Amino acid sequence: MDAFRLLTRSTKLKPTSTSADSRLPSTGKAANPQLFRTAETDELEAKNGKKRKRAAAAQQDEEDVPDLDFFSSNKRPATSVAEPAAATEEDAVSASVQDVSDEAEPMDEVQRRTILNSHKIKVTDMRDLEDIQTQSESTKDSKKKSKKSKKEQAPVLSKKEQKRARRLFPEPLINFKELRSKYKISSRLAENVAEQGFTVPTEVQLGTLPLLLGESSEPDLLIVAPTGSGKTLSFLIPVINKIVRHHHSNPDEHGIFSIVVAPTKELASQIVNEGRKLVAGTGVKITLMKKGMRISDSGDADVLDEKSDESSGSEDENADSKPTKERANIPLTKSDILVTTPLMLVNALSANRTTTMATLPLVRSLVMDEADVLLDPLFREQTLDIWKACSHPDLRVGLWSATMGSNIEDLTKSTIKERQEELGQKPSEPHALLRLVVGLKDSAIPNIDHKLVYAATEQGKLLGLRQLLRPSAASASDIRLRPPFLIFTQTIPRAVALHSELKYDIPAEAGGSSRIAVLHSDLSDIQRSEIMRDFRKGEIWILVTTDLLARGVDFRGINGVVNYDIPNSAAVYVHRVGRTGRAGREGGIAVTYYTKEDIPYVKSIANIIDMSEKLRGKEGDKSIQKWLLDALPNLSKNSKKDMKKHGVEARRAPRLTDKEDDGKGARGMRISTKSGFERRLENKKKGAIAASRNRKAAAANDGNVSDAGSWAGLD
């Protein structure tokens, strides 16, 4: 007998921890895709997912029960092992139909309420209470209530009663197989979803897909769900299925039926890549908007006629009419779904126009990804112009984001009312405006670790970041962050400076400077796409960037995020740290450095971290202590607005040079480890070299050295 086994028989040894790599997102071992899943939820969904099995099948083990494939329309359903070989194809088909009818049984309100609450999904009707009550009364068709006065019909309710009246409990999506069996989506689309490996829906998919695919009227939606929870798939599946149905019913009608608006080119390109996987074989075409595209022909002929009538034969007017004629000759874009950024689409709609914009009469679905940014003052005017250009009376709008303020909700309600009044048309079916919130509103995902580190100065931040790059130096701290990861800065010059400071920190044996890159909006489209491609392929390990990549971009396997400069707002922090821990993966780390100048702006971020740890159930070892929250100062509303627009005041200078340095401010904000004495020596050397070149150039021009070419000292 083994002596070691005998001695350890009564002891409980801790399982040997393999390494931190097993918990890293880059290992590819994704956790359950649902962030708020519990054991009670699994039991309830297991009961609801397997109702009323046939008596013959109920006697068999679960392994012997046939796994029916609802996604394939032409393939024969799989049969069980115990099924006799002489079974005919008709028997298998009839059995599959019986299973489909059994699984399609609707849930009662208690079951729906339990599942939605366990997944922390809250659905609210955003319309006025009068509209909700009148619609409910119209469904009951009660003539007596219609004769009553308005006071009797709409009694004064308390705030709690109003919340209860607005709450809805729609039937959730338990399994992706229900898309075909219950909601009758396209068979080819269902096959594409199955080929991508999607089996268990995430919270946002569990709540939104039944609303968008149900038999009742499709609502306008406001979706607030955590980063990396599968929002792209949630709005692409209903949009594609809607277009497929339209193609079957109206085969002769062609044009742009859906528009997806995203704030950045990187996010728009990502949506197109995901959409192309889903539309394969469905006959639906998805296109990324590019410069020079012609997407609408409404009014082009009128513009040409007006210009030809008003022209008096002058050379200037004839020159102005050439671009219009050339644009009219460009063929229309043949696409069903157009993915674009706001400015690019507005420029295409208003090309060669002075007062009005071209309209998009066929668009029935408008999706705004990262809607809080699109309706922010930076993009608001462009986004509203696109919204108004979609003139179809049955237009449905979806606003998706991980953070959404109450001002966005009010703006959405007012815009929907104004648009209906301007069109003067009533939709074929009355539709509701619903808000679906997953988890706590405007909170970070609970499956990543947050670290808030005080570095005192800019040199301290650089030292801390270098410790993360060197595992031997980082062994003394409790932060374990391994590449690949993202580093966020406040401005483009700071990103460029940090990249130049770090690019030689990686040893040549590991790839050297090729393993670190910088990405910002001043780079060309080709450079940005190449950097994104190399980072996804794993050739680039560390990417220094601005808030350009803070929203929506999905990098699977990122181990962490470093906020070298603190975010401009709590919402930006939520989106930045959401680049890791995607699709429920655990092991992601978010490190945020702050200095003495950042202390007034840290409290909102500390509250987000504290809320995320409460969602995770982390009560004992919390990174944000109560004494820190009490000690941090509160920020006024004006200071928050100023911070959101411009960032930390000490880092707003676009370029920190010795000329702008007054001795304290810019010098303290410089990203460098060199002392001021070393910089002065470098500047003197550069000035001497430049003066020597000037003297040589002057001597070459004049034939001899003159006083004009002499060195006049440093500027």
Q: Is 238 in the same domain as 297?
A: yes
* Domain contains 79: no
* Domain contains 256: yes
Q: Is 366 in the same domain as 488?
A: no
Lowest mean pLDDT: which of 117-121, 155-159, 512-516, 636-640?
155-159
Q: What is the pLDDT of residue 59?
A: 41
Q: Is 534 in the same domain as 472?
A: yes
* Domain contains 352: yes
Q: 710: phi > 0 → left, psi -120 to 50 → alpha, else beta; which? A: beta
Q: Is 563 in the same domain as 452?
A: yes
Q: What is the pLDDT of residue 673?
A: 65
Lowest mean pLDDT: which of 138-147, 279-288, 694-703?
138-147
Q: What is the pLDDT of residue 372?
A: 93
Q: Is 276 in the same domain as 358?
A: yes
Between the two ends of the chain, the Cα-to-Cα distance in Å is 87
Task: Using the 3D structure, point to which of 384, 405, 437 is the last residue of a domain.
Answer: 437
Nearest Cα to 498, choosing from 580, 579, 567, 563?
563
State the Cα–Cα distance between residues 122 and 436, nearest whole angstrom.
6
Task: Using the 3D structure, point to which of 403, 437, 471 is the last residue of a domain.
Answer: 437
Domains held by the chain: number: 3
Whether the CB-CB separation of 353 and 303 falls below 8 Å is answered with yes
pLDDT in tens, 556-599: 889 999 999 999 999 999 999 999 988 778 888 999 999 999 99
pLDDT in tens, 32-89: 567 776 665 666 656 665 444 444 444 444 334 333 332 333 443 333 333 333 344 3
- Per-residue DSSP letters for 257-304? -EEEE-SSHHHHHHHHHHHHHHSTTTT--EEE--TT-B---TTHHHHH
Domain of residue 658 covers 448-669
Preceding amide of 484 cis, omega within 30: yes
* Domain contains 714: no
Mean pLDDT score, 666-684: 68
Q: Is 414 in the same domain as 487?
A: no
Which tokens belong to 248?
């079957």
* Domain contains 177: no
Q: Is 362 in the same domain as 225?
A: yes
Q: Is 395 in the same domain as 424?
A: yes
* Domain contains 69: no
Q: What is the pLDDT of residue 710?
A: 52
Q: Is 426 in the same domain as 458?
A: no
* Domain contains 625: yes
Whether the CB-CB separation of 224 and 438 falls below 8 Å is answered with yes
State the Cα–Cα distance between residues 103 and 50, nearest whole angstrom.
7
Nearest Cα to 70, choosing from 51, 52, 97?
97
Q: What is the pLDDT of residue 511?
A: 86
Domain CATH for 570? 3.40.50.300
Q: Is 395 in the same domain as 477?
A: no
Q: Is 413 in the same domain as 460?
A: no
Q: Is 362 in the same domain as 224?
A: yes
Task: Using the 3D structure, point to which of 418, 437, 456 is the last residue of a domain.
Answer: 437
* Domain contains 595: yes
The pLDDT confidence band at residue 326, using thresholds 50, 70 and 90, is low
Lowest mean pLDDT: which of 131-135, 291-295, 410-414, 604-608?
131-135
